[in-house]
Structure 1
């Protein structure tokens, strides 16, 4: 069976796959891992970064939810920070449920995005701060958030060797969201470069970055 090409669409099943891979990697953390350690490259700790990832998945699903999604603003949930400098979320995990509960929150929010992408017509458009997008775009955004924030978290936990996302998945989200990214380099290092997390030969490291969620013609 041939692997999907980079120009094939990003799907709801890809969201599920990315989230399951991420959760499996995070479950590989030692029992005594310090989830209050800073996530690599971020001002948030590892627990907060997992909560932020879950909230991203939730928010993308929610943005597609209304019968007529807003095109100029987010659906008006109440976002708030638990501490100054922490992530602004709608969803938080109950710390008494431990890491197992935290990862279950990620799974649940991922399933919400999977379901919305699978059931929302491709003609639907909804607001994102980096441009109005379609269900495939929100799927790709959720996958990028999952892949790169898991990289941040495993770096903070000291278990980076457990995280090596599939090249085909990285290639498809690069094609969908990062049209200016190099296409002659390995997809995972390229995605890290495109999100300001890594270096590529012949390319300047990015201090600022963004994706482009506009539907492809």
Structure 2
């Protein structure tokens, strides 16, 4: 007969420091690409190239920060920045990096947009709600969204650049965003492969690869 089970520690909330940590880890990983790496190749299994995917990621971080910015954040739409595509099929962004700045400049844009999200999450009251297509969210939720975007798009980019073997996000960080945004994800599996599965990028034992997926931005207590 087995003894009593050890109590499971509760998953801690996602914090502004987690956003900073995720972005810094991503930038450090992408800086490991060889100097002659071709950033125009497709990023993993998505339709954008590696440069475009970094721009898209930076733009996600910027957009989540911006959504929290107004005194009365919009509840039914995005803040009305002008979004556009540089090419047919490319990402629709507000922010782009100056190509003349090279990869160093591109990654600096990513760092800067990550810092914007960190700052907005840190200074916005937890009672604030703002629109997102996948559920009106609070600052913690937008932090978690930014972290998921950072972790999985770095996986995509690293795959395109051939440095994916070096990208292993911390388990605690993955567990916190899974808990916050993916209530249906299994909790008895390794967090990083589980996050890849939850975002349609991998398989778990006994579970087929997802062909569609979403997160749930609403605070957990609001989901009913």
Q: Structure 2 length as normaliser, TM-score?
A: 0.94
Which of these residues, 56, 62, 71, is aligned with residue 60 of structure 2?
Answer: 56
CA distance in 1, matches of 2:201, 2:23: 20
Question: 2:91 aligned to 82, 87, 94, which one?
Answer: 87
Cα distance change of structure 1 residues 107 and 9 upon mapping to structure 2, 3 Å threshold = same
Mark the structure with the bigger radius of gyration: 2
Q: Which runs of 4+ in 1 moved over 2 A?
A: none
> Displacement, 1:161?
1.3
Counterpart position of 2:5? none
What whole-Å deviation, never above 9, does each CA across 1:31-62 have from its counterpart, x for those lacking one? 00000000001110000000000000000000
- Among 185, 189, 200, the alignment partner of 2:204 is 200
1:139 is the counterpart of 2:143: yes
Q: Which residue of 2 aligns with 1:43?
A: 47
- Compute the displacement of 1:20 (Å): 0.1
Q: How many residues align?
A: 213
Q: Name the structure 1 match of 2:82.
A: 78
- Asked if residue 170 in structure 1 is aligned to residue 174 in structure 2, the reply is yes
SS at 1:36 equivalent = coil
What is the alpha-carbon distance in structure 2 between the residues aligned to residue 102 and residue 6 of structure 1? 37
Separation of aligned partners in 1, 2:12 and 2:110: 26
Counterparts of 1:33 and 1:117, CA distance in 2: 34
Q: State TM-score, norm by structure 1.
A: 0.97
Secondary structure, counterpart of 1:130 in structure 2: coil
Give 5+ residue unaligned stretches, structure 2: 1-8
Q: Flag the 1:78–1:15 CA change in 2: closer, same or farther, 3 A.
A: same
Match of 2:113 in 1: 109
